[in-house]
Amino acid sequence: MTALALDKKWATLVVLVPAVLLLGLTTRTWASGESRDVLSRAVTEVSGGAAAPGVVGLCAVCVVALLGLMTGGRVIRAISAGVLVLAALGAALMTLFVALRPVTTVADAVARELARTTAPAATGTTTVWAWLAVATAGLLAVGAVLTAASSRSWAGLSGRYERGTKPASGPRGEVRTTWDELSEGHDPTLRDAPDET
């Protein structure tokens, strides 16, 4: 294992904490500005959830993928790792896009308010909340990559959550069930009983 390999507890922290923080930051104002349209001269403040609604969904995907990594078998872990990394990178790119283009964000928000198909000319500035969201999304992406890489060495759930052993097969290879044993007059519950001394 490498020095950056994470166990399940640390992997949960480096993914879950940034994801929850990023969700909280989507409620804050990420861009503010004013439209130069005659119908709308008021200052418009755009929250993260309105500016990048996909970020909320991608954070939820990260949490679900993390759950799959923690509880799934080898195939489920491989799929969940890919989904986790893609969702985290998607959230980081969306957040960065809003922070770098505040004018477009404000213009689009005004267009939605006025129910217009084209965005009006507008001014816009990025708030500190948006840059905090960018930093948090970056931490989420790094945590997702480290978690995905570390998950290859993890074991699944303990044996008590695994399926039971395969039933014994009959002389012709057919699967024998508990009902078969009962039909033959054998009590299957005695098979697992401890020996009496």
Confidence band (pLDDT; 50, 70, 90) for 1? Answer: very low
pLDDT average, residue stretch 54-82: 91
Taking a C-beta distance cutoff of 8 angstroms, is the pair 77, 154 a contact?
Answer: yes
Taking a C-beta distance cutoff of 8 angstroms, is the pair 32, 127 a contact?
Answer: yes
Taking a C-beta distance cutoff of 8 angstroms, is the pair 133, 21 a contact?
Answer: no
Range of 125's domain? 8-160
Going by C-alpha positions, the residue among 156, 155, 146, 138 that lies closest to residue 2 is: 146
Alpha carbons 181 and 196: distance in angstroms, whole number:
22
Is residue 191, in this structure, part of any structural domain at all? no
N-to-C CA span, the chain: 47
Is residue 130, in this structure, part of any structural domain at all? yes
Helix (H) or strand (E) holding 142: helix 128-150
CA atoms within 13 A on the CB side of 125: 3
Q: What is the reported pLDDT for 168?
A: 55
Helix residue ranges per DSSP H, 26-115? 48-51, 53-71, 74-100, 102-113
Q: What is the reported pLDDT for 158?
A: 47
Question: Helix 102-113 crosses helix 74-100 at what angle (to 10 degrees)?
Answer: 90
pLDDT average, residue stretch 114-123: 69
9, pLDDT greater than 70: yes
Is residue 170, in this structure, part of any structural domain at all? no
Is residue 184, in this structure, part of any structural domain at all? no
Q: Which residue has the higher pLDDT, 7 or 66?
A: 66
CATH of the domain at 147: 1.20.140
Alpha carbons 76 and 71: distance in angstroms, whole number:
9
Number of domains within the chain: 1
Is residue 71, in this structure, part of any structural domain at all? yes
Is residue 124, in this structure, part of any structural domain at all? yes
Going by C-alpha positions, the residue among 142, 180, 124 that lies closest to residue 14 is: 142
Is residue 75, in this structure, part of any structural domain at all? yes
Q: Can you read off the two tokens belonging to residue 138?
A: 């970056």
Confidence band (pLDDT; 50, 70, 90) for 93? Answer: very high
Q: What is the reported pLDDT for 173?
A: 55
Confidence band (pLDDT; 50, 70, 90) for 107? Answer: confident
Q: Can you read off the two tokens belonging to residue 102?
A: 């505040």
Lowest mean pLDDT among 65-79, 97-111, 165-179: 165-179
Alpha carbons 176 and 167: distance in angstroms, whole number:
6
pLDDT, tens digit, for every residue of 124-178? Answer: 889 999 999 999 999 999 999 999 998 887 766 544 444 555 555 556 556 667 6
Is residue 25, in this structure, part of any structural domain at all? yes
Confidence band (pLDDT; 50, 70, 90) for 22? Answer: very high
Question: Helix 8-25 crosses helix 74-100 at what angle (to 10 degrees)?
Answer: 30
